[in-house]
Amino acid sequence: MKWLEFPPLGTIATMRRCLFLLLGLVGLACSGFESPRFLLLVTVDTLRADHLGAYGDARGLTPNLDALAEDSLVFRAAYTPASFTLPSVASIMTGRYPSALGLWGNESKIPDSTETLAKRLDEHGWNTAAVVSNWVLRESSGLSMGFDRFDDDMSDREATRGAPERLAPDTTDAAIAAADECAREGKSCFLWVHYQDPHGPYDPPDELRAAHLANERSREDGRRRLPVLSDHGGMGGIPRYQFLGGHADVGFYRAGYAGEVSFVDAEIGRLLATLDDQGLLSNAIVVFTADHGESLGEGDLWFAHGEHLSEAIVHVPLLIRSPGLEPGNRTGVVSLVDLYPTLLSLALGAEAREPTESQGPVRHHARDLMGSLPREEERGVFLATLGGSAIPRYAFVEGRYKLTLSEPNGSAEWDVRLLTRGDDELDLSEVHPELRTSMVQKVRQMQRATAGAERVWQELGTEDESKLRALGYATD
Q: Using the rule CB under 5 A, is 291 a contact of Zn ion?
A: yes
On the 0-12 / 13-18 / 19+ scale of CB atoms within 10 A, 1 is exposed
Residue number, 197 or 291, with CB nearest to Zn ion: 291
Residue 308 CB, shortest distance to Zn ion, in Å, is: 14
The upper half-sphere exposure of residue 418, i.e. CA atoms within 13 Å in the direction of its Cβ, equals 19
Number of residues that bind Zn ion (CB under 5 A): 3
- Among the listed ranges 77-85, 108-116, 280-288, 465-473, the one in contact with Zn ion (CB under 5 A) is 77-85
Q: Using the rule CB under 5 A, is 107 a contact of Zn ion?
A: no
Residue 48 CB, shortest distance to Zn ion, in Å, is: 12
Residue 422 CB, shortest distance to Zn ion, in Å, is: 22
Residue number, 87 or 349, with CB nearest to Zn ion: 87
- Among the listed ranges 23-31, 43-51, 274-282, 360-368, the one in contact with Zn ion (CB under 5 A) is 43-51
∠ at Cα 223 (222, 229), nearest 5°?
A: 95
Q: Report the SS3 class of residue 405.
A: strand
- Among the listed ranges 39-47, 211-219, 418-426, 428-436, the one in contact with Zn ion (CB under 5 A) is 39-47
Residue number, 188 or 289, with CB nearest to Zn ion: 289
Residue number, 135 or 396, with CB nearest to Zn ion: 135
Residue number, 160 or 447, with CB nearest to Zn ion: 160
Using only C-alpha atoms, what is the Rg of the chain?
Answer: 22
Question: 159-162: long-range contacts (C-beta < 8 A, 24 or more apart)?
Answer: 159/203, 160/201, 160/203, 160/241, 160/243, 160/244, 161/201, 161/241, 161/470, 161/471, 162/470
Q: Using the rule CB under 5 A, is 141 a contact of Zn ion?
A: no
Do residues 192 and 200 make contact, with C-beta atoms less than 8 angstroms apart? no
Do residues 127 and 190 make contact, with C-beta atoms less than 8 angstroms apart? yes
Q: Would you give the DSSP letter of residue 249?
A: B
Q: Using the rule CB under 5 A, is 85 a contact of Zn ion?
A: yes
Q: Using the rule CB under 5 A, is 45 a contact of Zn ion?
A: yes
Q: From CA 185, how far away is CA 166, in angstroms rounded?
A: 29
* Residue whose CB is nearest to Zn ion in the complex, by number: 85
Residue number, 45 or 398, with CB nearest to Zn ion: 45
Q: What share of the chain is helix, strand, coil (3-state, %, to 5)?
A: 40, 20, 40
Residue number, 82 or 285, with CB nearest to Zn ion: 82
Strand 380-384 and strand 302-304: the pairing is unpaired
Residues in the chain: 476
Residue 199 CB, shortest distance to Zn ion, in Å, is: 6
Residue 314 CB, shortest distance to Zn ion, in Å, is: 12
Return residues touching Zn ion (CB under 5 A): 45, 85, 291
